[in-house]
Amino acid sequence: MALRVGLAGYGLAGRSFHAPLLKGCGLDLVSVLTTNPERVAQVTSNFPEAKVVSSMQELLANRLDLVIVASVNSVHVEQAIAALHAGVPTVVDKPMGRNMTETLQILAISDETGVPVTTFFNRLFDSDSLTIKRVLKNNEIGKVFRIDSRFERYRPNLAAQSWREQSSAEEGGGLLLDLQSHLVSTALDWFGPADLVSASVRSIRGASDDDVVLVLKHHSGVDSYLSASSIVGSPGPRIRMMGTDGALVIGELDPQEALLRAGQSPTAGKWEVPTKSEARILRGDSVSEAVVENGNYAQFYSLVAGALAGKNNWPVSRSEILAVAKIIDQARELNFRE
């Protein structure tokens, strides 16, 4: 029997990421929490058998095996804690909390109740991320010493309907909590523990932070330069990773997000179309195509289902969640001091 899932929130994250991935992994979306009339209509169209509710209490009354918290960041704590107190394993969209204090609150209730919780770092399953892990494992460009990892785009005008762009940091808005969470989580996954040595967190357009650059120094000897910005007129390549025997350059993200936004989803936990980024290995004037892995966000929910069945660990561990939260907090503190 398919796992019964309740989804809190049907905005971009809930509608275009979690819901289609749940469907693509054979999990049963039985109830959705939203009070927005437009999103109520979208749920009814996309998942006609799902029950739409207006409160966490109603959501949790549906005999759930799993809760997904994909609401605005400001309610992650209360919704996650409600689910854990109800005894339902929980996935919280990134970031788990707006800061370390909130993250620890959620994890403390998980410990107290014995109910597992994790967070949705789906970019661990991007084509570029899976390719980098293979390149590192096989020593394909020698000893890696530096990486530039970017989510850069050019959006000079604020999106009026985007709470992430319009909300303050205290309310949970901004790129430090949004795209930098992905950049930090993947860098730590690739190269291990790191110290934050530099942080620039600022607002260029006058609302939430929209230009954020962090520098991490990993204990393994790699330096990560992480850039998330909404106002870069000439975005750099998604990845430029330097090693002693060459450089791996990945130009763009794989097509998974575009496929999901277009209403497509995996089948039986796998995409039926290629989901590869384009990548090259450069050695001075010598350029060759790199072997690239297919990305697959569905792996996240396949691992969640496996964890619930006792077959494997949860896809993102407590230590990984805390390591990202620590660096995000330090970035704010370091930037404030400067």
- Residue by residue, DSSP assigns 191-206 as H--EEEEEEEEE-SSS
CATH 2.40.50.140 fits 123-296, yes or no: no
pLDDT tens over the chain, length 338 residues: 799 999 999 999 999 999 999 999 999 999 999 999 999 999 999 999 999 999 999 999 999 999 999 999 999 999 999 999 999 999 999 999 999 999 999 999 999 999 999 999 999 999 999 999 999 999 999 999 999 999 999 998 877 677 677 777 778 889 999 999 999 999 999 999 999 999 999 999 988 999 999 999 999 999 999 999 999 999 999 999 999 999 999 999 999 999 999 999 999 999 999 999 999 999 999 999 999 999 999 999 999 999 999 999 999 999 999 999 999 999 999 876 55
Q: What pLDDT was estimated at residue 337?
A: 58
Q: What pLDDT was estimated at residue 126?
A: 98
Tell how far CA 214 is from the center of its chain.
17
Phi, psi of 93 (to 5 degrees): -60, 150
Phi, psi of 66 (to 5 degrees): -155, 140
SS3 of residue 117 by DSSP? strand
Contact 235, 242 (CB under 8 A): no
Cα separation, 156 vs 137, whole angstroms: 40
Q: Which residues of 122-152 are buried (b: 16+ CB within 10 A; e: fewer)?
A: bbbbbbbbbbbeebbeeebbeebeebbbbbb
Nearest to 277 by CA among 250, 313, 239: 250
Cα separation, 258 vs 251, whole angstroms: 16
SS3 of residue 267 by DSSP? strand
Q: What pLDDT was estimated at residue 173?
A: 86
* Annotated domain spans of the chain: 4-120+305-313, 123-296
The domain covering 4-120+305-313 belongs, at the CATH homologous superfamily level, to NAD(P)-binding Rossmann-like Domain (3.40.50.720)
